[in-house]
């Protein structure tokens, strides 16, 4: 997939620029809102430093877009596929529930496609989730070590970026920024930027997003991730319908409710994975 919008800084939108193989999930305000809303609803058994770390988690949630700085040629190339999964390009095949390298081998060998263009979002989520599990384990073992809360906040914030991306329906499809027409033209180009910037431009705040959210236990995190992404993809037609009606250019009650629901879904997803990481850390075996 030829992705998406050139990232200039975590607070400046590049709404008019399109480049190959780059994406911004939500503008920085959207990612920050997802993280802060999720932190506000963490259960009391999660460590206080993490529950109270909404601002720090929000900052770190922007880092994966910072890593796509145009001058960071090695880092940008490694990062670009982490923000999306073009489900149609899997040709009906299931992603392996092992690791990104098995997925890359399957995509490259069986599908004859470039893994970084198909996307690797589920693996980015799982990797950051597991980093947070390890960080929480270390906190359980050495709660007075001041380095450990810092790394947990970094891991948690990075995870929040990718979970936020998964809640944005156009990160689950090759039609990320318009639909190709029979004559080769692209209809509704620019839709991606309109949705990305909607929370920030239309006053969707953490307090509104967090209302009523409660952490839910997850039995199988990998299956939960895939199910969430599949559900997110069901909202692609609505994105295009609202855009065709001009409801992202001039927001309506319906378009605002739709985007609020997607941001809330991202916050719930983030909250659940953070809590799952805390619970799993209790039974994690020693590192060595």
Q: What is the pLDDT of residues 57-67, one digit of tens each?
A: 999 999 999 99
Burial of 272 (0-12, 13-18, 19+ CB in 10 A): buried
pLDDT of residue 17: 34
Angle between helices 147-167 and 28-40 (to 10 degrees): 120
H or E segment at 180?
strand 179-180
| d(C-alpha 218, C-alpha 279), whole Å | 10
Residue 101, Cβ density class (10 Å: 0-12 exposed, 13-18 middle, ≥19 buried)? exposed
Using DSSP's 3-state secondary structure scheme, residue 122 falls into: helix
Task: Report how far Cα 98 is from the mean position of its chain's Cα atoms.
Answer: 20
Taking the C-alpha atoms of residue 116 and residue 132, their distance in angstroms, rounded to an integer, is: 24
- Gap between the Cα atoms of 102 and 160, Å rounded: 24
* pLDDT of amino acid 16: 35
pTM of the model: 0.91
**Residuewise pLDDT in 10s, the chain (288 residues):** 334 432 223 333 333 333 333 455 677 889 999 999 999 999 999 999 999 999 999 999 999 999 999 999 999 999 999 999 999 999 999 999 999 999 999 999 999 999 999 999 999 999 999 999 999 999 999 999 999 999 999 999 999 999 999 999 999 999 999 999 999 999 999 999 999 999 999 999 999 999 999 999 999 999 999 999 999 999 999 999 999 999 999 999 999 999 999 999 999 999 999 999 999 999 999 999
Other beta carbons within 10 angstroms of residue 282's beta carbon come to 11
């Amino acid at each position: 997939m030829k992705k998406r919008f050139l990232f200039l800084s975590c607070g400046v939108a590049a709404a008019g620029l399109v480049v190959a193989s780059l994406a911004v999930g939500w503008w920085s305000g959207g990612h920050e809102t997802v993280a802060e809303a999720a932190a506000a609803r963490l259960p009391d058994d999660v460590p206080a430093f993490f529950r109270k770390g909404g601002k720090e988690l929000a900052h770190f949630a922007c880092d994966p877009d910072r890593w796509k700085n145009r001058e960071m040629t090695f880092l940008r190339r490694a990062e670009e596929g982490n923000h999306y999964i073009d489900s149609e390009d899997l040709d009906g095949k299931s992603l392996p529930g092992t690791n990104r390298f098995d997925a890359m081998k399957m995509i490259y060998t069986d599908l004859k496609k470039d893994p970084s263009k198909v996307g690797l979002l589920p693996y980015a989520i799982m990797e950051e989730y597991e980093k947070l599990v390890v960080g929480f384990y270390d906190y359980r073992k050495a709660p007075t070590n001041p380095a450990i809360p810092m790394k947990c906040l970094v891991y948690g914030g990075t995870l929040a970026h990718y979970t936020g991306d998964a809640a944005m329906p156009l990160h689950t499809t090759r039609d990320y920024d318009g639909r190709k027409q029979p004559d080769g033209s692209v209809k509704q180009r620019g839709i991606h930027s309109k949705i990305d910037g909607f929370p920030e431009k239309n006053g969707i705040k953490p307090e509104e997003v967090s209302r009523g959210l409660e952490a839910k236990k997850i039995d199988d995190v990998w299956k939960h991730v895939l199910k969430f992404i599949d559900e997110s993809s069901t909202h692609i037609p609505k994105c295009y319908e609202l855009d065709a009606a001009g409801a992202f250019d001039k927001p309506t009650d319906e378009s605002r409710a739709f985007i609020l629901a997607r941001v809330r879904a991202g916050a719930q997803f983030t909250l659940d994975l953070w809590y799952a990481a805390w619970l799993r850390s209790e039974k994690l075996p020693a590192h060595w």
